[in-house]
């Protein structure tokens, strides 16, 4: 290990070497991203190569111009594979191992490494952490430069990140964030999928997803937790499940065993359901099986259905990975008149024509080939598949299944290709899971996906933090009001089980949903434990962007905002700015993430807790804003839960003074006589 750390240290200090490193070649032990379609004109390709060579010492231009063009022609972008470091494994090393002058900078390095760890990342050699195209950097030269800057960074400098490109270190103050990240920020009129593909191929922007380009991904644990809660709450709302019951006897069908979607396999069994998850990529399915998240894998649709039905009858939990297309599975369920209670979808439909969604009646390999060689044909088949998909779902829903859009742009993309997913009033026929479940039950009350990482890398530290969090939640339950008791209870149960569920992949990280007070209390207790040496090293705090305040996304996080402001993005932008001057170690703000480029603005933060009083001051100030910004906005939108949550927050904090809405009597407007000029 010591030798490995030494090799890592010299690699991160090296930056872009003057000598040309040997090309590491293609490594078939990791999964690789599908090649993208060719979008650039010959002149634009020249520009892309000239752009790429900006990172490279001139003596290598001749050779690398050829090599980069080859990459552009093959992968649809320049990845600079030659610069991928191979002297050491890329993974989260303990914080003290990083040769940085600033501990805060070292914490960013650790989190970047975690996002690129092959055990964590979906396509690590293409610098993609999850979601098919959620990138940490656009190319390996950017990675190398960033690591070097972070090693050199002083306590009063800030690294400025433009969509994976390090603009440089700028003087700031010790109070300022060490890193400010933007991903995919563009002029709004240039935010189409086509614009993204062109600018990404030119090497001037990237799709940072949510926690990929902000270095806050912790593996699928985050989404396992969120999915478990969603499944339980969906069944409570729509199947009359009792608050303390699990999903025994309930059937659930969905798709996707990739980066985030793979979590459905584990969440279904934690919740107790009988579940099939269709996945076209056999590699992804087997990975989840080896990991123990799938009970079984089959490529037979009928076998999968029979296993699901049998397990449900016996009240047994099972998660079956079906290697095949979700549409073929749904159509078979229709034919066989199978009773399915809950249905959803987590194919990567935020990226439908670049490999996020595969057409029916084709093998995975056939589809991947068609994508790079016949992109137009691929697009047409995707569209036809989506229409079939919606039609089968409609039949299942008519027969009693509760279907929800799982934030992957299923309804949006299906509607765009003319599938029958709209109600006569122009709204979607099915709710988004946020609109129905997460929004009113969690976000409006300030509950969201809070997370932390123990930078020592020691599992004992993680166990200690679990204990601290459980104690805080137990204490909060003593005085919890009825509207939040269920959420606290679910999360207490989760954290008590979290160690047994063995969900840690990569860094020693944990997630739970908590509100403002819960987040601050847990952070304060952890900071004290660091100060007293009960936890052996600093802790990084963060969250998924899929949260109360960080994200404006009209079909997802802000789907239950109904005052007409769901298409505005003031909240997300303010969140990142507000976090930055309240003490975050790094902040990020992204275009795209979850539901697609141009469809969402989302942001997040990272904060290093080192046991100091300074850290205590920062966490109190920043976390309070990071939650109450969104609660206040949701209250202004007249959401009931948010109104009571913000009123409670104002009682507790005299310096918080929020504009509250006056509510119009329900019948007043209907009684007015003239609503048009007719």
Ligand X SMILES: NC(=O)c1ccc[n+]([C@@H]2O[C@H](COP(=O)([O-])OP(=O)(O)OC[C@H]3O[C@@H](n4cnc5c(N)ncnc54)[C@H](O)[C@@H]3O)[C@@H](O)[C@H]2O)c1
**CA 338 vs CA 304, 312, 335: distances in Å:** 12, 12, 8
Residues 2-41, one symbol each (x = binds ligand X by CB under 6 A, - = not), give ----------------------------------------
Residue whose token pair is 């997460």: 438
Q: Which is nearer to ligand X, 150 or 442 (CB)?
A: 442
Task: Report the alpha-carbon distance of residue 352 to residue 382 in Å, rounded.
Answer: 7
Dump the DSSP string for 55-106: TS-GGGHHHHHHHHHHHHHHHSS---GGG---SS--S---GGGS--S-HHHH
Q: How far is the CB of 128 from ligand X (least distance, A)?
A: 9
**CA 403 vs CA 276, 345, 547: distances in Å:** 14, 9, 22
Q: How far is the CB of 406 from ligand X (least distance, A)?
A: 4
Q: How many residues bind ligand X (CB under 6 A)?
A: 34
Q: Which is nearer to ligand X, 100 or 409 (CB)?
A: 409
C-alpha 277, offset from chain centre = 19
Task: Report the alpha-carbon distance of residue 220 to residue 467 in Å, rounded.
Answer: 21
Q: How far is the CB of 319 from ligand X (least distance, A)?
A: 15
Task: Report the alpha-carbon distance of residue 18 to residue 16 in Å, rounded.
Answer: 7
Under the binding rule (CB under 6 A), the answer on residue 408 touching ligand X is yes
Under the binding rule (CB under 6 A), the answer on residue 280 touching ligand X is yes
Q: Rounded to 5 degrees, what angle do the CA atoms 214, 219, 224 make?
A: 115
Under the binding rule (CB under 6 A), the answer on residue 347 touching ligand X is yes
Q: Which is nearer to ligand X, 183 or 348 (CB)?
A: 348
Residue whose token pair is 């948010």: 642
Under the binding rule (CB under 6 A), the answer on residue 353 touching ligand X is no
Task: Report the alpha-carbon distance of residue 604 to residue 586 in Å, rounded.
Answer: 8
Binding residue for ligand X (CB under 6 A) from 76, 184, 407, 606? Answer: 407
Binding residue for ligand X (CB under 6 A) from 120, 179, 349, 619? Answer: 349
Q: For residue 178, what is the DSSP state?
A: S
Q: How far is the CB of 148 from ligand X (least distance, A)?
A: 30
Q: Which of residues 563-602 bind ligand X (CB under 6 A)?
A: 594
Of 444, 441, 514, the closest CA to residue 477 belongs to: 514
Q: Which is nearer to ligand X, 45 or 350 (CB)?
A: 350
Q: How far is the CB of 531 from ligand X (least distance, A)?
A: 35
Q: Which is nearer to ligand X, 260 or 338 (CB)?
A: 260
Q: Which of residues 316-345 bind ligand X (CB under 6 A)?
A: 325-327
Binding residue for ligand X (CB under 6 A) from 205, 261, 269, 455? Answer: 261
Looking only at the bridges linking them, the beta strands covering 539-543 and 508-514 are unpaired
Task: Report the alpha-carbon distance of residue 534 to residue 530 in Å, rounded.
Answer: 6
Residues 230-259, one symbol each (x = binds ligand X by CB under 6 A, - = not), give -------------------------xxxxx
Q: Which is nearer to ligand X, 261 or 629 (CB)?
A: 261
Binding residue for ligand X (CB under 6 A) from 229, 278, 294, 297? Answer: 278
Q: Which is nearer to ligand X, 177 or 449 (CB)?
A: 449
Residue pair 570/167 in contact by the 8 Å Cβ criterion: no
Q: How far is the CB of 676 from ligand X (least distance, A)?
A: 39
Binding residue for ligand X (CB under 6 A) from 31, 117, 126, 279? Answer: 279
Q: For residue 428, what is the DSSP state?
A: B
CA atoms within a 13 Å half-sphere pointing along the CA-CB vector of 211: 27
Q: How far is the CB of 599 from ligand X (least distance, A)?
A: 10
Task: Report the alpha-carbon distance of residue 606 to residue 104 in Å, rounded.
Answer: 10
Longest pairwise C-alpha distance within the chain: 81
Q: How far is the CB of 554 from ligand X (least distance, A)?
A: 15
Task: Report the alpha-carbon distance of residue 184 to residue 210 in Å, rounded.
Answer: 11
Stretch that binds ligand X, among 1-9, 406-414, 463-471, 558-566 (CB under 6 A): 406-414
Under the binding rule (CB under 6 A), the answer on residue 555 touching ligand X is no
Residue pair 548/443 in contact by the 8 Å Cβ criterion: yes
Q: Which is nearer to ligand X, 222 or 538 (CB)?
A: 222
Q: Is the dihedral of CA 182, 561, 595, 39 positive or negative?
A: negative
Q: Which is nearer to ligand X, 553 or 575 (CB)?
A: 553
Stretch that binds ligand X, among 35-43, 265-273, 347-355, 583-591 (CB under 6 A): 347-355
Under the binding rule (CB under 6 A), the answer on residue 635 touching ligand X is no
Task: Report the alpha-carbon distance of residue 277 to residue 292 in Å, rounded.
Answer: 14
Helix-, strand-, coil-residue percentages of the chain, each rounded to 5: 45, 15, 40
Q: How far is the CB of 610 from ligand X (least distance, A)?
A: 31
Tell me the three state secondary structure of residue 174. coil
Q: For residue 158, what is the DSSP state?
A: E
Q: Which is nearer to ligand X, 323 or 535 (CB)?
A: 323
Under the binding rule (CB under 6 A), the answer on residue 509 touching ligand X is no
Under the binding rule (CB under 6 A), the answer on residue 357 touching ligand X is yes
**Left if phi > 0, otherwise alpha if psi is -120 to 50, otherwise beta: which for 14?**
alpha
Q: Which of residues 364-403 bind ligand X (CB under 6 A)?
A: none
The first and second tokens of residue 144, run together, are 């190398």
Q: Which is nearer to ligand X, 122 or 139 (CB)?
A: 122
Of 82, 77, 105, the closest CA to residue 13 belongs to: 105
Binding residue for ligand X (CB under 6 A) from 34, 226, 249, 537? Answer: 226
Which residue has the CB atom at the shortest distance from ligand X? 258
Under the binding rule (CB under 6 A), the answer on residue 406 touching ligand X is yes
Strand partners, 169: 159
Binding residue for ligand X (CB under 6 A) from 348, 521, 585, 628? Answer: 348
Q: Which of residues 103-122 bind ligand X (CB under 6 A)?
A: 122
Q: How far is the CB of 335 from ligand X (least distance, A)?
A: 18
Under the binding rule (CB under 6 A), the answer on residue 550 touching ligand X is no
Q: Which is nearer to ligand X, 230 or 521 (CB)?
A: 230
Binding residue for ligand X (CB under 6 A) from 132, 352, 446, 448? Answer: 132
User: Which residue intervals of 450-566 are DSSP H helices?
Assistant: 459-479, 482-498, 516-531
Binding residue for ligand X (CB under 6 A) from 223, 390, 559, 646? Answer: 223
Q: Which of residues 137-196 bind ligand X (CB under 6 A)?
A: none
Task: Report the alpha-carbon distance of residue 10 to residue 7 in Å, rounded.
Answer: 5
Task: Report the alpha-carbon distance of residue 526 to residue 529 in Å, rounded.
Answer: 5
Q: Which is nearer to ligand X, 328 or 461 (CB)?
A: 328
Q: Which is nearer to ligand X, 385 or 628 (CB)?
A: 385
Under the binding rule (CB under 6 A), the answer on residue 350 touching ligand X is yes
Task: Give the other-Cβ count within 10 Å of 613's Cβ.
Answer: 9
Binding site for ligand X (CB under 6 A): 122, 130-132, 223, 226, 255-261, 278-281, 284, 325-327, 346-350, 356-358, 406-408, 546, 594
């Amino acid at each position: 290990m010591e030798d490995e750390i030494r090799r890592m240290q010299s690699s991160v200090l090296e930056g872009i070497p003057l000598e040309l490193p040997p090309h590491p070649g293609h490594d078939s032990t990791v999964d690789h991203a599908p090649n993208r379609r060719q979008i650039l004109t010959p002149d634009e390709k020249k520009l892309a190569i000239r752009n790429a060579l900006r990172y490279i010492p001139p003596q290598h231009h001749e050779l690398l111009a050829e090599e980069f063009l080859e990459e552009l022609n093959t992968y649809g972008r320049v990845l600079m594979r030659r610069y991928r470091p191979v002297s050491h494994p890329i993974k989260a090393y303990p914080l003290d191992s990083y040769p940085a002058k600033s501990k805060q900078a070292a914490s960013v390095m650790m989190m970047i490494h975690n996002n690129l760890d092959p055990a964590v990342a979906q396509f690590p050699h293409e610098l993609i952490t999850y979601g098919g195209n959620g990138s940490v950097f656009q190319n390996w030269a950017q990675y190398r430069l960033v690591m070097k800057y972070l090693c050199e960074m002083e306590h009063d400098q800030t690294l400025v990140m433009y969509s994976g490109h390090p603009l440089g270190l700028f003087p700031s103050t010790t109070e300022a964030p060490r890193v400010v990240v933007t991903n995919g920020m563009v002029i709004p009129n240039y935010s189409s999928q086509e614009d993204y593909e062109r600018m990404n191929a030119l090497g001037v922007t990237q799709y940072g997803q949510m926690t990929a380009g902000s270095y806050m991904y912790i593996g699928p644990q985050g989404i396992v937790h969120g999915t478990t809660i969603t499944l339980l709450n969906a069944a409570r709302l729509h199947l009359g499940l009792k608050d303390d019951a699990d999903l025994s006897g309930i059937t659930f069908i969905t798709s996707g065993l990739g980066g985030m979607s793979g979590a459905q396999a584990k969440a279904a069994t934690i919740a107790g359901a009988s579940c099939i998850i269709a996945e076209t990529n056999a590699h992804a399915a087997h990975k989840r099986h080896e990991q123990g998240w799938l009970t079984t894998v089959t490529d037979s649709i009928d076998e999968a259905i029979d296993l699901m039905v049998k397990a449900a009858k016996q009240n047994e939990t099972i998660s079956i990975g079906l290697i095949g297309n979700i549409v073929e599975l749904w159509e078979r369920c229709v034919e066989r008149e199978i009773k399915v209670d809950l249905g959803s979808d987590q194919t990567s439909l935020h990226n439908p024509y670049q490999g996020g969604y595969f057409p029916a009646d084709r093998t995975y390999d056939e589809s991947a080939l068609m994508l790079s060689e016949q992109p137009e044909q691929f697009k047409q088949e995707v569209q036809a598949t989506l229409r079939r998909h919606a039609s089968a779902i409609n039949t299942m829903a008519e027969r009693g299944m509760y279907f929800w859009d799982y934030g992957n742009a299923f309804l949006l993309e299906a509607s765009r290709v003319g599938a029958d997913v709209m109600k006569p009033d122009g709204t979607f026929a099915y709710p988004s899971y946020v609109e129905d479940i997460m929004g009113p039950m969690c976000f409006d009350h300030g509950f969201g996906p809070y997370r932390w990482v123990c930078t020592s890398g020691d599992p004992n530290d993680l166990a200690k933090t679990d204990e601290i969090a459980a104690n805080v939640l137990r204490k909060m339950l003593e005085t919890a009001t009825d509207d939040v008791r269920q959420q606290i209870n679910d999360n207490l149960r989760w954290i008590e089980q979290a160690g047994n569920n063995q969900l840690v992949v990569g860094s020693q990280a944990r997630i739970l949903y908590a509100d403002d007070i819960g987040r601050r209390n847990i952070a304060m207790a952890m900071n004290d434990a660091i100060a007293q040496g009960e936890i052996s090293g600093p802790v990084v705090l963060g969250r998924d962007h899929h949260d109360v305040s960080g994200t404006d996304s009209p079909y997802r996080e802000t789907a239950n905002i109904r005052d007409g402001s769901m298409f505005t993005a003031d909240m997300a932008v303010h969140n990142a700015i507000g976090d930055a001057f309240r003490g975050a170690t790094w902040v990020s703000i992204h275009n795209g993430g979850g539901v697609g480029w141009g469809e969402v603005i989302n942001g997040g933060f990272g904060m290093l807790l080192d046991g100091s009083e300074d850290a205590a001051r920062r966490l109190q100030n920043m976390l309070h804003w990071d939650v109450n910004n969104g609660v206040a906005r949701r209250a202004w939108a007249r959401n009931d839960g948010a109104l009571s949550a913000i009123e409670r927050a104002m009682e507790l904090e005299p310096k918080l003074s929020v504009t509250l809405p006056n509510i119009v009597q329900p019948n007043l407007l209907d009684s007015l006589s003239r609503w048009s000029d007719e």
